[in-house]
Amino acid sequence: MKKLAGVLCALLILALSASALAETMTISLIGDCTVGDQYKYRGYKSSFTYKITQAGLDYPFSLVADMFAADDLTVANCEGVLTNRSPGKNAKFMTLGAGMEFAQVFSLGNVDVCNTANNHAKDFGNKGLEDTFAALEAVGIGAFGDEITYTTTIKGVKIGFVGYTYPITEPKLQRYEKMINQLRAEGCTFIIASAHWGKEESLNINLQQREGAPALIDTGADMVYGHGSHTLQPIQVYKGKLIFYSLSNFTFGANAAPKDDDTAVIQVTYDINPDGTMTVAELTAIPFKMHKDKDFRPYPIEDEAGKLKVWKKLVFSKAKDPDSGLPESFLTTGYADLRTKEAAE
């Protein structure tokens, strides 16, 4: 009997050790990044391209580059065009972009993948969008958007990316579903659906987001990565999957002094399952400001009141809103252990 008990104890220890040593993956997410400026202001001493040319292309991400180097995957929204073309006579009022060499801002910052599906993707026409893909790919950045998906394999997990911009209505959701099914057929076991949407400068989600985000999870996405409102909007745990409705701006050359300059680096740690799927384990929101003295370099918030303000924006509070599914402690720590029963309820 003692021998049997000893064997069972040894097996339990082995099982616990295996669990403790289970491989994990950490994904960092940031919001809108305009690596460039409004074309009409290019060359002004207050512009992104002027300031970053003077400071160095590594400057915008210089306070986060080490953090992003230490994770497994960093994803950003590239809101602007990387091209050496001019926008032409019929350029819209806010035409955003920079020369192709500015793609190095992302690579020097250790960003791995960029979404390009947003309302500024074609500010320089179809050729400008082609240049953006070429510029990103030339410096080793994965790119996706609209009908172009992207896949990468990390720690044995094949991750797929699909993204569209507003309006995200039923026809657009059908396009997501088609692309998600295609990515599954290509062997992806984890799919990130990027969505550029939301009312600008609003802290609250709109109807498209409210209906669309859960629909994307139900369609087969494993994470919804939202951006576009230029503000932080809440996070939701839905059926064990994470929805980020909007992650504000990060380095944002389109506006040196936005009304709300709160932002965050979101880091999610997943447990990697034997079949290549992943289960969400931990969530950390690291509060940042978008700039100091209009220098386009995000910096971490140090004061407690500033941190609490950011974390509050990431949790639903209105009766009509869905339950964020985050533990109450998230409001004071910015951290959630999503393995726990408390966080899942």
The model's pLDDT over 174-204, given as tens digits with 9 standing for 90+, comes to 999 999 999 999 999 999 999 999 999 999 9
Q: What is the pTM of this model?
A: 0.93
Please give the Cα distance from 169 to 232 (Å, whole number). 22
Query: Do the Cβ atoms of 232 and 249 come closer than 8 Å?
Result: no
The answer, yes or no, to whether residue 71 has pLDDT greater than 90, is: yes
The answer, yes or no, to whether residue 112 has pLDDT greater than 80, is: yes
Ramachandran region, residue 228 (left: φ > 0; alpha: ψ -120 to 50; beta: rest): left
Which run of H or E residues covers position 63? none
Looking at residue 17, its pLDDT comes to 43
Q: What mean pLDDT, rounded, does the chain reach?
A: 93
Looking at residue 102, its pLDDT comes to 98
- Torsion angles phi and psi, residue 78, rounded to 5: -90, 95
| Residue 90: half-sphere exposure toward Cβ, Cα within 13 Å | 2
SS3 state at 282: strand
Query: Do the Cβ atoms of 212 and 319 come closer than 8 Å?
Result: no
Residue 342 — very low, low, confident or very high, per pLDDT cuts 50/70/90? Answer: very low
The answer, yes or no, to whether residue 156 has pLDDT greater than 80, is: yes
Please give the Cα distance from 78 to 18 (Å, whole number). 39
Question: Cis (ω within 30 of 0) for the bond into 300?
Answer: no
Looking at residue 171, its pLDDT comes to 97
Residue 1 — very low, low, confident or very high, per pLDDT cuts 50/70/90? Answer: very low
Q: What mean pLDDT do residues 260-280 have?
A: 98
Please give the Cα distance from 140 to 142 (Å, whole number). 6
The answer, yes or no, to whether residue 14 has pLDDT greater than 50, is: no
Please give the Cα distance from 21 to 279 (Å, whole number). 15
Pairing of strands 299-300, 278-289: antiparallel
Residue 31 — very low, low, confident or very high, per pLDDT cuts 50/70/90? Answer: very high
Please give the Cα distance from 35 to 13 (Å, whole number). 51
Please give the Cα distance from 304 to 322 (Å, whole number). 27
Pairing of strands 262-272, 278-289: antiparallel
The answer, yes or no, to whether residue 285 has pLDDT greater than 60, is: yes
Least confident of 56-70, 81-95, 257-271: 81-95
Q: What mean pLDDT do residues 42-57 have?
A: 96
Beta bridge partners of 162: 193
Report which of residues 19 and 157 the model is more confident about. Answer: 157
Q: What mean pLDDT do residues 313-319 have?
A: 95
Looking at residue 95, its pLDDT comes to 96
Q: What is the pLDDT of residues 221-239, one digit of tens each?
A: 999 999 999 999 999 999 9
Q: What mean pLDDT do residues 31-55 have?
A: 96
- Torsion angles phi and psi, residue 134, rounded to 5: -65, -40
Please give the Cα distance from 215 to 177 (Å, whole number). 10
Report which of residues 78 and 340 the model is more confident about. Answer: 78
Listed residue (204, 219, 129, 127) closest to 172, CA to CA = 219
Looking at residue 21, its pLDDT comes to 57
Report which of residues 342 and 244 the model is more confident about. Answer: 244
